[in-house]
Structure 1
Amino acid sequence: MKKIGVITGTRAEYGLLKPLIKAIDDAKVLQLQLFVTGMHLMSEFGNTYLQIEKDGFTIDAKVDDGLKGDSALAISKAVGKATIGFAETFGEFNPDMIVVLGDRSEILAAATAAVISNIPVAHIHGGETTEGAYDEFIRHAITKMSHLHFASCEVYRNRIIQLGEQPHTVFNVGAIGIDSIKNLQLLDKKSFEESIATKLDKKSVLITFHPVTMENCTAEVQFQELLSALDKLKNTTLIFTKPNSDKGGRAIIDMIDSYVENNIAKAISFISLGQLRYLSALKYVDFVIGNSSSGILEVPYFHIPTINIGDRQKGRVAPISVIHCAPNEHEISSSIIKTTNKNFLDEISKQELLFGNGDATNKIINKLTTYNNKNLKKSFYDLKPTCFEKL
């Protein structure tokens, strides 16, 4: 039995990983080790480790990073504590490989501890770019510490190779979030409305806005521009999902709470919708707005528009359903108008889907099962001079 340690630190990340966690748990030749950290263990973000247990999974270890606040100092301290915690956890459980997704600071801590402990790392969603967030640096650092790479499209696979990773270790498996869209039984409209205790108006919008961590003191300004644009909408239900524990995130949470309190007839908010309610919402809302990667990766599969605000996701490959706009009220309002354009909506209904067909889990399981982790030495893959000329 090959012991596979899966790391999860946020509700959204867990939603993406859930099909893979179950597949590892069900595999005859793999043994699941589930290590929970980050926001899952924080009461202010809903103690979402309880949902993991409710889903029937056994949590082998909880690695508390001790995060208090959302300043740069607080997050840096949390990375240090998490690195210590993962080093101790890996020493106790001795996984044969760990699986990590994305680019958050607690994932960096896990990868760092694994590399020093000579434990190979499998990384999901590498090769992507987000110029507006320091996640960009963390993601590429994790790529260089990883031995297996599962990219969401061919552009990202090529970028991982460009970073010096051997092509035979880099696989285009598609976006793992599509697996749940394909396989999960979503709620009908009545059941969804009951689950959020709100009847949807003639129109409805899902809003997820995270701070732009490469900029200082702009989160509140940008989010206020968004609120001003949303304020103009009539007969529209506004569904806010609150941001993660990123630097500056709590200021946005406070603004959401204040806005909902003052607009109780049309606005609601959630610390976490959870995967089922979130994906079900995408069946019934008219568009999604904010700066979440989900608006680019998962939302297009529902053939509805995404308004992507500002630079947080700048650099990502995006289908035509994604409308990019500056973080000011005028451009946001113009983008909202575009979501009603019949020609644009017709284009979306026929758009090419860029991130796979919902079979990422099976592809990842196959590679985890067959990977030989005897030799952890890595040689840098140099692109040929002709490749540099093309770049």
Structure 2
Amino acid sequence: MSATRRRICFVTGTRADYGHLYWVMREVQSDPELELQVIVTGAHLCNAWGRTVDVIERDGFPIDARVDMQLSGDSGVATSKSTGLAVIGLADAYERLAPDLIVLLGDRYEELAAAQVALLMKIPVAHIHGGETSEGAMDESIRHAVTKLSHLHFVAADDYRRRVLQLGENPAAVFNFGAPGLDHLTRTTLPDRAALMQHTGLPLDAPVFAVTYHPVTLNAQDPAIAANALIAALERFPTANIVFTGVNADPGNAAIARVIKEFTVANPERARLFDSLGQQRYLGLLQMADVVIGNSSSGLIEAPALRVPTVNIGDRQRGRLKAASVIDCADDADSIETAINRALSGQFRAELPANVSLYGQGQAAPQIKQVLKTCDLSNILMKKFFDFHL
């Protein structure tokens, strides 16, 4: 460990994990007894995904290392090779930066690479959002693997804490402070409708649909089939203004992106696609949307906290905690249409004011920072397995 300030190193690979990490990073940055380190990798460095590294820099976070790992192609082979590149690059970055603690969020292959390098280099890891389930995606296995490679755990709900304990983790090292991404709702000024209209170029008259759809990576079906079903359902709402945010970098992304782009090009008067809106604009969009549609975790975490209905499509998020404002549906056009109509119905919307967030109240970041700052790291690497007695 460093002799002076404790070095806390955040590894971020996508716009999604950065949005959730933002306030924790800000808390560390503002503490004079801590040194913030930032490693940027993955889709952040790619033009195809909006080159969101520029957003991180504009937010005032100096970047200590850039690890270029993203290969062209979205096959399992390309993703595996990208993960290997991440391992090599992160090993070099860790050696140079000598962090005392690595902070990871989520369940993607970038986090898996970051955690395994930390293990081999004997650097403790703090993991955020462990214990969750998303049975339709590879993320499910990666998330639990990262839990076992980590030493501190910041979960978002009691159910998830119990699941981390089932994996044999020390109860004293598992903290439930809620989802840090919800801190934006209590600390970040969100843009209003006029600002979003100017940015999107759409009138944003009701109904407004916010749509994000990612590959269901454990599904053997061609991802274009489900994407076409989504578009077919959206076409049945000809008066809707639709804002799509870009597909993530998972295997199968290209086919989905192509279908969405074709729809937006054919319907420029009412549909737009953005590689990345940025966290503030994205949350502003959710706040004013009539329905959030797709299979992103933001439909289960942020949208319910904003009391906006979610149409959650297919199996990607199967197993996660879902508020009463979330409507599950199959990934065919008729089911999606039915779910959207239910979300728009007066009866369903009348119940939204009573909706309760299952992921905390937006006060996680200061509590996470305090644990990162004060936890004893001297004997943390050698973990005891705590049996879970059924």
1:181: Cα distance to partner? Answer: 1.3
**Any conservation in 2 of the 1:212–1:218 contact (CA below 8 Å)?**
no
Q: How does 1:271-286 map to 2 (within 5 A)?
A: 271-286=275-290
The answer for the alignment partner of 2:384 in structure 1 is 379
1:351 and 1:45 map into 2 onto residues whose CA distance is 33
Find 1:154's aligned residue among 145, 152, 158: 158
Separation (CA, whole Å) in 1 of partners of 2:314 and 2:113: 28
Q: How does 1:304-383 map to 2 (within 5 A)?
A: 304-375=308-379, 376-383=381-388
Residue type of the alignment partner of 1:383: F
Aligned pairs for 1:2-151 within 5 A: 2-151=6-155
Residue type at the aligned position of 2:213: F
Which contiguous aligned blocks of 4+ residues in structure 1 show a shift greater than 6 angstroms? none
Name the SS of the counterpart of 2:282 in structure 1: helix
Q: What is the 5 A alignment of 1:133-212?
A: 133-212=137-216
Q: Which residue of 1 aligns with 2:292?
A: 288
Q: Partners of 2:20 and 2:71 in 1: how far apart?
A: 23
1:345 Cα shift? 1.5
Between 1:250-259 and 1:121-130, the stretch displaced more is 250-259
Q: Per the alignment, in what secondary structure is the counterpart of residue 252 of structure 1? A: helix
**Cα distance in 2, alignment partners of residues 294 and 101 from structure 1:** 14
Structure 1 position 352, deviation (Å):
2.0
Shift of residue 53, structure 1, vs aligned partner = 0.9
Q: How many residues of Structure 1 are paired with residues of Structure 2 in the alignment?
A: 385
Secondary structure of 1:299's counterpart equals: helix
Identify if the C-alpha distance between structure 1 residues 202 and 341 changes in structure 2 by more than 3 Å, giving closer, same or farther: closer
Inter-partner Cα distance in structure 1 for 2:193 and 2:70: 39
Cα distance, 1:191 vs. partner?
1.4
Tell me, in whole angstroms, the C-alpha distance in 1 between the residues paired with 2:110 and 2:71. Answer: 10
Whichever residue aligns with residue 384 of structure 2, its letter is: S
CA distance in 1 between partners of 2:271 and 2:200 (Å): 11
* Letter of the 2:289 counterpart: V
Using the TM superposition, name which of 282-291 and 213-222 deviates more. Answer: 213-222
Aligned-partner residue type, residue 73 of structure 2: G
For residue 22 of structure 1, give the secondary structure of its aligned residue in structure 2. Answer: helix
Further displaced range: 256-265 or 164-173: 256-265
TM-score (norm 2): 0.97
Kindly provide the CA deviation profile for residues 103-147 of structure 1, in whole angstroms up to 9, marking residues without a partner as x: 110111011100111100000000000000011000000000000
Q: CA deviation at 1:20?
A: 1.0
CA distance in 2, matches of 1:216, 1:242: 22
Q: What's the secondary structure of 1:171's corresponding residue? A: strand
Tell me the secondary structure at the aligned position of residue 238 of structure 1. strand
Instruction: Decide whether the 8 Å contact of 2:127 with 2:147 is kept in 1.
Output: yes
Letter in 2 for 1:198: L
Task: Give the partner amino acid of 1:380.
Answer: F
Contact preservation (8 Å) 2:57, 2:63: yes
The separation in 2 between residues aligned to 1:111 and 1:130, in whole angstroms, is 20
The offset of 1:80, in angstroms, is 0.8
Cα-to-partner distance string for 1:2-42 (whole Å, 9 max, x where unaligned):
00000100112111111111111111211001000000111
SS of residue in 2 equivalent to 1:339:
helix
Counterpart CA distance in 1 for 2:70 and 2:171 is: 38
- For 1:169, the aligned partner's letter is A
- CA distance in 2 between counterparts of 1:328 and 1:182 reads 36
The one-letter amino acid paired with 1:130 is S
Amino acid at match of 1:382: D
Q: Which runs of 5+ in 2 are unaligned?
A: none
Tell me the distance in 2 between the aligned counterparts of 1:337 and 1:43.
36
Q: Please list every run of 5 or more consecutive structure 1 residues that lacks an aligned counterpart in the other structure.
A: none
- 1:201-280 equivalence runs, <5 A: 201-280=205-284
Q: CA separation in 2, counterparts of 1:193 and 1:92?
A: 45
Q: CA deviation at 1:292?
A: 0.3
The one-letter amino acid of 1:381's match is: F
Distance change in 2, residues 1:23/1:254 (3 Å): same
2:251 aligns to what SS in structure 1? coil
3-state SS of 1:280 partner: helix
CA contact (8 A) 1:6 1:34 kept: yes
3-state SS in 2 of match to 1:307: strand
d(CA) in 1 for partners of 2:286 and 2:249? Answer: 24
TM-score (norm 1): 0.97
Task: Indicate the percent of aligned positions where both proteins have the same amino acid.
Answer: 44
Helix, strand or coil: the match of 1:244?
A: coil
